[in-house]
Structure 1
């Protein structure tokens, strides 16, 4: 094999242009993006991405859950490809970079190799995973979770959104239920580029985060059943107030995560059934998101949150149910691939550090089946899942350059 010069660079302006072109699909007045998975805006960006991949000479395949695989042939087609990519869907009030930087960065790697006339030994596969965000359907990282066998395809297809629309119906409505069986696309390894979604890289003046670990995640759907009664005539000591109960649970989640350390806990959603100003809330649905990079602490989080909820329920004479809808153990990325990312960053002269991902990513799922690593670049003020999410052109280009050279080190260059 021959090795390309370390000064091979992606086209920074072209990458930046594609980021802003795709931000128009679901663009919001505040400068963010609302592109819920399998909705009309997701179809728009998928159609654009498919066309762009085909124009770059890639063969695009789609599996039964809408995961997209765009293959660039290598000299040795007997070996599985190196995968690179991320996702195209966003949060309801998302930004221009979360997820899509990884898919567009992967596309830019292919375009750069095409421009330079470089053939790799191993094939390459640019990937878009379905429903990474989990904002319309649970679980998050749905497509990659089914890919590695954490869920059956039938289970995922039957999941419904708040409007009662199933994943199967949504896929069919936008024409992205493919014929490739889920989990059959082989990979030799997978690299995902992403914004950090936290403040560490920016605060330390680092351009590249070499991701070693990913936090484990617990997602609960909770329900509190108290008793609705008149707000004016029900004495305080006789109330079975669902909202007051939730208030205590919120503080308990905060306390447990703080006391354990290396953990975070959030109650992100709460809905009062039939709310009224002068009625004591009798029923509330809510969610909990709890995370830790330490498996032992994750187990303690689960036990202590459940114990706290049960104690609060007994004290307030209400019923509290916690349904664990998703559990993801902490991820430890492949040391060889992590080393390849670190070497690429050092070779290119970018300031870098080892880092743990606070957010979940498709790469965290894939790591159970495929050697995997991630590359982080800074985002302004650590803000993500917000319309204010921002990153610089230089940092995005740096991440794509590290992706390029990591991929080349893994796939090799044909003689």
Structure 2
């Protein structure tokens, strides 16, 4: 059931400045200046959506002075602190700490929290802020609160200050939901689905409470079966498992042969990964189909949702396996690849009840003329949206990338007896390369460069490194920018090697073209976001996605959803709120609605 509303946007629009501030009293703890400034900046006629109001309030805080931001943080009480003990919390804070069970701490838990409060205040000079009702709104467990407290105690002060403000916005969001009688039911459904799917995990990880689902394992097959069950419950007309293990759900349009919109993402995970990478892009359109089915509605186009069986390349040396089958680019050599247990991909397919033949796989190729295009929803996997206090972002392009593995050879010699001007230090050469990559990539718009692996074989504390192994990952929004960065980095490496008297071997291991969003589909996403009363933020995708494979045969465009915990992904801390997910579903529904009108 939805909370009982005590306020509506229509009522708020009629209030003068004093009435506006009074109506939002208690949303931000002891800080009426936020509502005052939001009133001064509000659009003519007032805010058209609660999401727009939330974003406007967050923008006031984001543009406030450092002293004002610190004042807002310090206006909040400690968790399980003196104010809770002597019952002097505001009604809102008392309700939240009670829902998280902080009023029923064991003596040991209370002692832990008190010590954490002392240590945190000593380190940062302000109270620890956590939205204890959590991403689902039902309340975090006391152990989750303690674990988060301990983790964030180790953070950098600037990072932690920003994280406190984000948690304050989440607290305010939940309070606004209660006041306006709003419940993000669609977001809750997607969140619950994702939570339920996470119970399937590969052996060795499941026992440690970690999520790992690699291609065609028992956990992978169980995940696929669960998705198929839910798709049938949602009202899909056709649900099937194809020859590579993709889960395929079709919701017909007005006519069964109507052209289709293709969408989806992957359901495999990295090792010890998160619950939303890939899976969000399957569950969000599933929720949309469920809505259409419950309303008895059909669109002029059909909707085909694909849960791609593999994208991460964790079990075999093949990435985008699921989407490659749809584009006709499945490499036959993949079938003979073997995992660490010596099981070939072909045998794994046969064990899973799949045909394991190229004939069956080639039959999966889609005819692009039957499709309007491909759209994908994905968790951002980065910090941009969360730093801007924006729930959604429009992807302009998926970065093209090139990867290398390399080795620099110098001369291993005694660290004490070799003068500095006579050294051939392989590691120092790579260190210089790292700094060049960092500086040059930063100078090219929307380009990134990373040396992620670094190894000195047989290294010793008193020996100058004679060998250094390294990796190199270069990405940019266009092939031209990627190639420019690539050429400059390789030229710099040659110059470094020449000057330092070392030799270099460099092997290219991957080259992927950039995938710019189709203009028409990007505009549809932008219109969908604007319809929610939110500003449009355009951004590139630095990570690869199934959409970049579909880009090879049909127009594509992506929508990003903000992640929690600094936007971290491929990590157990990967998380989203039900409110952001509600907006994501609503944006997808708005995009579909746009397809149903001329």
TM superposition score normalised by structure 2: 0.59
Give the drift of 1:127.
0.7
Instruction: Look at both structures and tell me which one has the larger radius of gyration over its CA atoms.
Output: 2
CA contact (8 A) 1:32 1:389 kept: no
Residues 104-125 of structure 1 show CA distances to partners (whole Å, capped at 9, x for unaligned) of 1122122222222222332211
Point out the more displaced range, 292-301 or 236-245: 236-245
Residue 406 of structure 2 corresponds to 223
Return the alpha-carbon distance in structure 2 between the equivalents of residues 175 and 282 of structure 1.
Answer: 51
1:34 pairs with one of 207, 212, 235: 212
Distance 1:172 1:277, change over 3 A: farther
1:202-213 alignment runs, 5 A limit: 202-213=386-397
How far apart, in 2, do the equivalents of 1:15 and 1:351 lie? 24
1:366 paired to 2:550: yes
1:123 aligns with 2:302: yes
Match of 1:157 in 2: 335
Shift of 1:10: 6.9
Query: Could you tell me which residue of structure 2 aligns to residue 296 of structure 1?
Result: 480
More helix by share: 2
Partner of 2:187: 12
1:103 aligns with 2:287: no
2:408–2:429: 8 Å Cα contact kept in structure 1? no
The residue number in structure 2 matching 1:53 is 231
Which SS does the other structure have where 1:83 is aligned?
strand
What's the counterpart of residue 132 of structure 1? 311
1:257 to partner: Cα distance = 1.3
Instruction: Check 1:141–1:180 CA distance in 2 against 1; reply closer, same or farther (3 A cut).
Output: closer
Q: Which residue of 2 aligns with 1:262?
A: 446
Structure with more of its chain in strand, by fraction: 1
CA distance change for structure 1 residues 251 and 120 in 2, over 3 Å: closer, same or farther?
same
Aligned to 2:18: none
Query: Residues 194-214 of structure 1, C-alpha deviation per residue, up to 9 Å, x if partnerless?
Result: 112222322333232122222
Which shifted more, 76-85 or 62-71?
A: 62-71
Q: Which moved more, 1:250-259 or 1:189-198?
A: 250-259
Q: TM-score, normalised by structure 1?
A: 0.82
Match for residue 330 of structure 1 among 514, 518, 524: 514
CA contact (8 A) 1:84 1:127 kept: yes
Deviation of residue 192 (structure 1)?
0.7
Over aligned residues, Cα RMSD in angstroms? 3.5
Matched, 1:43 2:218: no
Counterparts of 1:381-396 in structure 2 under 5 Å? 381-396=566-581
Q: Distance in 2 between matches of 1:176 and 1:226?
A: 47
Work out the number of aligned pairs and report it.
403
For the residues of structure 1 that align with 2:326 and 2:463, how far apart are their CA atoms? 47
Q: Give 2:365's aligned residue.
A: 184
Deviations along 1:227-279, one digit per CA (max 9) or x if unpaired, are: 79676798477776554443333333223312434311112234555667777
Among 263, 272, 282, the alignment partner of 1:93 is: 272
| Equivalent residue, structure 2, for 1:3 | none
Unmatched runs of 5 consecutive residues or more in structure 1: 1-5
Q: Separation in 2 of the partners of 1:51 and 1:226?
A: 56
Q: Measured at CA, do residues 146 and 282 of structure 1 come closer, stay the same or move farther in structure 2, by a change above 3 Å?
A: farther
Offset from partner CA, 1:392-415 (integer Å, 9 cap, x none): 1110121122112313433x39xx
Task: Point out the more displaced range, 349-358 or 209-218.
Answer: 349-358
Match of 1:399 in 2: 584
Alignment of structure 1 residues 215-254 onto 2, 5 Å? 215-220=399-404, 222-224=405-407, 226=409, 235=418, 242-254=426-438
Summarize the Cα distance change of 1:310–1:31 in structure 2 as closer, same or farther, 3 Å threshold. farther
Partner SS, residue 190 of structure 1? strand
| Counterparts of 2:416 and 2:194, CA distance in 1 | 58
Helix, strand or coil for the counterpart of 1:265? strand
Mark the CA change 1:283 to 1:292 in structure 2 (over 3 Å): closer, same or farther: same
Tell me if structure 2 keeps the 8 A contact 1:218–1:324. yes
Cα distance in 2 between the residues matched to 1:165 and 1:281? 38
Equivalent residue number for residue 66 of structure 1: 245
How far apart are 1:70 and its partner, in Å? 2.0
Q: Counterpart of 2:402 in 1: which secondary structure? A: strand
Kept after mapping to 2: 8 A contact 1:192/1:375:
yes
Gaps spanning 5+ residues in structure 2: where? Answer: 1-48, 50-183
